[in-house]
Chains A and B, each alone.
Chain A
Amino acid sequence: MDEILLDVRGLTHRFRLNRRAVVRAVDGVSFQIRRGEVFGLVGESGSGKSTVARCVMNVYRPTSGQILYKGVNVCDPRQFRANRAMLQTTRQIIFQDSTSSLNQRMSVADIIAEPMAIHHIRPKRGTLRDEARFQLKYVGMDASYLDKYPSELSGGMRQRVAIARALSMEPELLVADEPIASLDVSIQAQIINLFRHLQEEHGFTFLFIAHDLSVVRYLCDRVGVMVAGKLVEVAPTAELFDNPLHPYTKALLSAIPIPDPRRERARTPYAFDPARFERDGELVEAAPGHLVLRKGGGAE
């Protein structure tokens, strides 16, 4: 059995809007990610994917539930403090919007080297600047960009810098929150290839959040589908695409646009009414490794 790197158990996060209204952004979500696996989390906007990512990264403190990273419950303040250095250096996140996630007043070299400076890590390659140069080269940019500022770079370049910054810590878990959603098609392909290459080379574990299923199909080993804060289906990628069980997954799969006029026009998307979505139920193993949310649970 492979080692489980991240174990999310019954994660619930509520946002209190005012005295009465509470949004259950994430509601009892459980999943595991094994070491070296690319796990995709898909769902439409507002389904709670990003909230899960932020809870995993300790940006939010969940209302209830546990997140075990290497056996350490990151939601428990005492355990967090005891393992702070390990948690902060081995987990890294890449955000969707590189314009707001990079400090506009810092040069590319400083941005990439900042995590190392913060954690007082001695650069393997001499100086921090050499390290920044190395990481930049690794993501496919040359040294001439070291002294540029984020505003001088294109969207794809900025996203590469964000990736280089995350990689400078040599993380074990990389969380990517819609890293390619704001990029052009041809740039998207470059970044996806980069992720794939890095994953093959480093073998790091990946929580990849996306709404574009064709990308998920290409990149991920296993996929989890979320609707309205609930995880409704988890399965290996091929299994999910060949044999979707939950009605929402079917709707999502049928909505992937096909770049082929004749087939695209013949396609009728499978309708899914979120109002009639059944929130109750448990994840049941319908096939080996294939979990689906069903009412009343049922036998294993």
Chain B
Amino acid sequence: MNGRQTEGKNNSPALLEVSNLSVSFDTPQGELQAVRGVSFALREGEVLALVGESGCGKSVLCKAVMKLLNRNARVKSGSVKVDGMDITNYRERDMERLRGKLFSMVLQDPMTSLNPTIPVGEQITEAVRVHEPKLSRAAVRARVLELMRLVGIEDPESRYRLYPHNFSGGMRQRSVLAIALASRPRMLFADEPTTALDVTIQAQILDLLREVQRKLGTATLLVSHDLGVVARVADRVAVMYAGRIVETGTAEEIFYDPRHPYTWGLLRSLPAWAEPGQPLYTIPGMPPTLIDPPRGDAFACRNKYALAIDYEEAPPMFEITPTHLAATWLCDPRAPKIAPPVGGEARG
């Protein structure tokens, strides 16, 4: 299987270590294998981006780590370690203590994650109170104002009493981030945090994430399908396809020296790479259904570079550099050498 443990060779210790994690959903059609043997590590103070198409298991993976999965989901195998402590078999009561302190989450749409009937300041106050119940009223208020300033809400005293509908999309997402940071988490999970925002606001929120992460040293797991977003903030990138991580490396390695054909496809289909007058590149076919996934490499039938072995046996993670791993047989020394169709710098 491709659960070979090669992560964590970097010097800083791994805060979160997920190894060989598999998650399945019981559906009327059968067992849906949403996450299939995923291993990764998140280190102190880094931003790891999880990239892939919808349905590839990015969000399920996040939820599995935080144990927020629905009842019909089962963690089939694997372990989740935090600070070397195995939390795989923690119960809900134990998890409640960890959530917030250890990890917080920022969701895609700030409109649905805020309560429209409560002023924003009070919603942040609530989050502070839950995690620090012994704080005096004045101290709580000071902390809320400090949080609001931290996420770039100017003049927090007068904005404290405003409602979410008084705020613009960017300001709402800042408020959500303030709530997520209220408990001083060590890890922040951001699930498509800028998808619902305008392009002009997007860069501001990303820079804010980066700045907060530098100030507080919070490790961030960023889930996104937008490679432009990933290029701006990520230290490391993990590309997911059909429930597996198919390539992982530093942002430079993934963007300038991608090795997996799926990563090539993702990069090439961006309009920024298109030659004027030429049709955009598209990855042929569709992602496979994860109920009864295909044997071998799940990407093989969409991959024009596929080798015979791809249809038989799933490729292991090949090591290209200590930080750069790719699950494709093309990296095997016996495979034919193929010049990657992408890599290098974007036009325009």
Contacts and interface: CB of A to CB of B under 8 A. Distances in A.
Interface of A: 44-45, 154-155, 184-190, 192-193, 196-197, 211-215, 217-218, 251-252, 255-265, 267, 269, 272
B82 interface: no
Nearest to B201: A44
Instruction: Determine the main DSSP class of B at the interface with A.
Output: helix
Contacts of A155: 54
A186 B202 contact: no
Lowest 10 A-B CB distances belong to which pairs? A257-B228, A44-B198, A189-B269, A264-B231, A214-B271, A189-B280, A260-B346, A259-B227, A261-B251, A255-B199
B55 to A, nearest CB: 8
Contact of A252 (B199, B251, B279, B348): B199
Nearest to A156: B286
Contacts of B270: 185, 189, 214, 259
Given A189-B281, A193-B280, A257-B228, 5 more contacts: A186-B282, A212-B199, A257-B203, A258-B228, A267-B203
B127 to A, nearest CB: 27
A196 B276 CA distance: 12
Given A185-B225, A214-B270, A260-B255, A265 B232 contact: yes
B291 to A, nearest CB: 14
A272 B200 contact: yes
Instruction: Determine the main DSSP class of A at the interface with B.
Output: helix
Most buried by A among B226, B255, B256, B282: B282
Contacts of B169: 45
A113 B229 CA distance: 40
B179 interface: no
Contacts of A189: 269-271, 280-282
A261 B255 contact: yes
Contacts of B199: 44, 211-213, 252, 255-257
B92 interface: no
A269 to B, nearest CB: 5
B57 to A, nearest CB: 14
A155 to B, nearest CB: 7
Interface in B185-219: 198-204
Contacts of A196: 279
Interface residues of B, number: 42
Contacts of B202: 255, 257
A101 to B, nearest CB: 19
Contacts of A188: 269
Contact of A184 (B54, B230, B234): B54
A194 to B, nearest CB: 10
B345 interface: yes
Contacts of B240: none
A251 B286 CA distance: 36
A252 B202 CA distance: 11
Nearest to B206: A257
B269 A186 contact: yes
B347 to A, nearest CB: 9
A295 to B, nearest CB: 22
Contact of B266 (A44, A185, A256): A185
Contact of A262 (B252, B280, B282): B252
B162 interface: no
Nearest to B234: A261
Contact of A186 (B231, B279, B283): B283
B265 to A, nearest CB: 7
Contacts of B252: 261-262
A263 B227 CA distance: 13
A45 B168 CA distance: 10
Interface string B334-348: 000000000001101
Contacts of A45: 169, 198
B171 to A, nearest CB: 13
Contacts of A251: 200
Contacts of B326: none
Contact of A255 (B53, B200, B256, B286): B200
B68 interface: no
Contact of A261 (B225, B231, B266): B231
B282 A259 contact: no
A256 B229 CA distance: 10
B135 interface: no
Contacts of B279: 193, 196-197
Contacts of B203: 255, 257, 267, 269
A215 B228 CA distance: 13
B173 to A, nearest CB: 13
A190 B286 CA distance: 11
B111 to A, nearest CB: 11
Nearest to B200: A255
Interface string B276-295: 10011111001000000000
Contact of A259 (B54, B265, B273): B273
Contacts of A197: 279
A257 B231 contact: yes
Interface string B36-74: 000000000000000001100000000000000000000
B144 interface: no
Contact of A258 (B201, B225, B283, B346): B346
A184 B282 contact: no
Nearest to A188: B269
